[in-house]
Structure 1
Amino acid sequence: MADLSGSVVLVVGATGGLGSLLSQQLEAAGAIVLRSGRTMATLAADLRDDSAAATLIEAAAAVHGRLDGLVIAAGVVAFGPASEVSDATLRELFDVNTLAPVRLVRAATPHLAAAAQSGGAPFVVTLSGVVAESPTAGLAAYSASKAALAAFTQAASRELRRASIRIIDARPGHTETALSTHPLEGTAPAFSAGLAPEAVAARIVRAIIDGEKDLPSGAFSGAS
């Protein structure tokens, strides 16, 4: 069990539907939550920028002199045939969904390792989603960006456990947030009813507290 009371947690993508709920629920569990998003007055970050991740992590760690947790809830989506996706869309999908999380984890590792050495239970949460398990037609490029993230977290978790840093990759199915209503490209298909974002966020926070190390799509079967 992990006690979140007083833990300093950075939520990246905290202005999004799921990120905002994760922030609220982490605070309810006792964490000190630092919020980051493109439009926020403090800890704002454009994750398409190569240097944004390192700058953001250092700024977050400086607020309270430490960092105990990192939740990466930022992401972008695009729809359409694989043969028609534009270079600009490909670039942004991988910049935000893959490269930014890799850079955030890289930059956060020294701070999280220090938290572990001080007796804490540091963690990282990534959200690759069900498409990392089951790449989806009409979402080929998006699926690829998320599958790459899942591969990174799977390998990185084996490395970082030596420093007592836990990575949880969450792979919920389609969740009823507004992400699909503002894609980089294309139009969302008619999805069936998705998971309740409040329940998805609650499941992730429970995994953090309970010491879980992975959240496959099946772990969200009751999040409706």
Structure 2
Amino acid sequence: MNIHGSRVLLPGASGAIGSALAVRLHRSGARLALAGHDEGRLRRVSEACEGAPVFRFDAYELDRCARAPDWAAGELGGLDAVVVCVGVAGFGPVDTVPDAVAEHLFTVNALAPLAFLRAALPRVTPPGVLAAVTGVVVDAPPAGMADYAAAKSALAAWLTAVRRERRRTGTSVLDIRLPHVESGFAARRVVGEPPRLPRGLTVDEAADRIVAELTGQEG
């Protein structure tokens, strides 16, 4: 993906990683449409990106999530990429996680990202990019994070299947599996106490890694 001049919808732009990524993409010449939950932070990110258009959503409003790609294409005159940085953490043994909390984890970490990406399929112009941040929990689900890891794994499985479906269209489908990031993500958990985690990437390092994957320079 050539970032300069690309038209990018960024769901999760009001979060720590999403906001850092937005600034990097903007500085590299991308034209952004920013979607997020926290309206105040979303506006501040917009200001840092020279007034990029904003779209507020709640992860439970899947229909609204699905409207974002059409909105972004209208604002930007088309759509070349969607990069989803939406997520929320949850911790604890499975018998301590209420069903309502498990539903929340699956909605935010899987169903909402799928709504954005599914609706973007007919909108992203080949050779375009559909991408989402999952995490290394997909490769090795840790104890005490079963529901969170299962939700991220569901998103990863969906991305794998869609990549196979879109293999001949020229559209790239990326599963960006970041390691732990020192973003305050664990502190904003919806349940449980986080385990002792190894020192992770900084937010800036995480944003750099996402850009590298988008441009095919990772690894």
**Same fold judged by TM-score > 0.5?**
yes
Secondary structure at 1:163 match in 2: coil
Give yes or no for the alignment of 1:181 onto 2:193. no
CA shift for structure 1 position 179: 1.0
Partner of 1:33: 32
53, 59, 67: which one pairs with 1:47?
59
Gap runs ≥5 in structure 2: 44-53
Partner of 2:155: 149
The share of aligned pairs that are identical, in percent, is 35
User: Is 2:58 aligned against 1:58?
Assistant: no
Secondary structure at the aligned position of 1:161 is classed as coil
Deviation, structure 1 residue 9: 0.3
Letter in 1 for 2:35: S
**Helix, strand or coil at the partner of 1:70:** strand
CA distance in 1, matches of 2:35, 2:164: 27
TM-score (norm 1): 0.87
Instruction: Give, in angstroms, the shift of residue 18 of structure 1.
Output: 0.7
For residue 122 of structure 2, what is the amino acid of its counterpart?
Answer: P
Structure (1 or 2) with the greater strand fraction: 2
Amino acid across the alignment from 1:28: R
Which of 179, 197, 202 is matched with 1:196 structurally? 202
Distance in 2 separating the partners of 1:165 and 1:7: 14
Equivalent residues in 2 for 1:1-224, closer than 5 Å:
2-40=1-39, 42-112=54-124, 115-116=125-126, 121-210=127-216
Within 2, Cα distance between the matches of 1:207 and 1:185?
31
Inter-partner Cα distance in structure 2 for 1:169 and 1:135: 16
**CA–CA distance in structure 2, aligned partners of residues 207 and 183 of structure 1:** 27
SS in 2 for 1:194: coil
Q: Which moved more, 1:75-84 or 1:36-45?
A: 36-45
Q: Residue 143 of structure 1: CA displacement?
A: 0.6
Shift of 1:99: 1.0
| TM norm structure 2 | 0.89
**Cα separation, 1, equivalents of 2:122 and 2:97:** 37
* Count of paired positions: 206
Q: What does the per-residue CA deviation read over 1:54-88, in whole Å, with 9 as the maximum and x for residues that have no partner?
A: 12222111102211110100101111111121111
Give the Å deviation of 1:29.
Answer: 1.6
Report Cα offsets for 1:97-133 as digits up to 9, x if no partner. 1111222111001111xx22xxxx3101211100011
Q: Which amino acid aligns with 1:144?
A: A
- Preserved contact between residue 176 and residue 213 of structure 2 (Cα < 8 Å): no
Looking at structure 1, the residues matched to 57 and 104 of structure 2 have their Cα atoms a distance apart, in angstroms, of 14
Matched position secondary structure for 1:162? coil
Flag structure 1 segments of 5+ consecutive residues without an equivalent.
220-224
SS at the partner of 1:190?
Answer: coil
Supply the distance in 2 between the matched residues of 1:86 and 1:146 (Cα, whole angstroms).
Answer: 18
> Is the contact made by 2:13 and 2:34 (CA closer than 8 Å) also made in structure 1?
yes
SS in 2 for 1:186: coil
Counterpart of 1:179, as a letter, is F
The two structures, once aligned, show a CA RMSD in angstroms of 1.5
Partners of 1:103 and 1:163 lie apart in 2 by 20
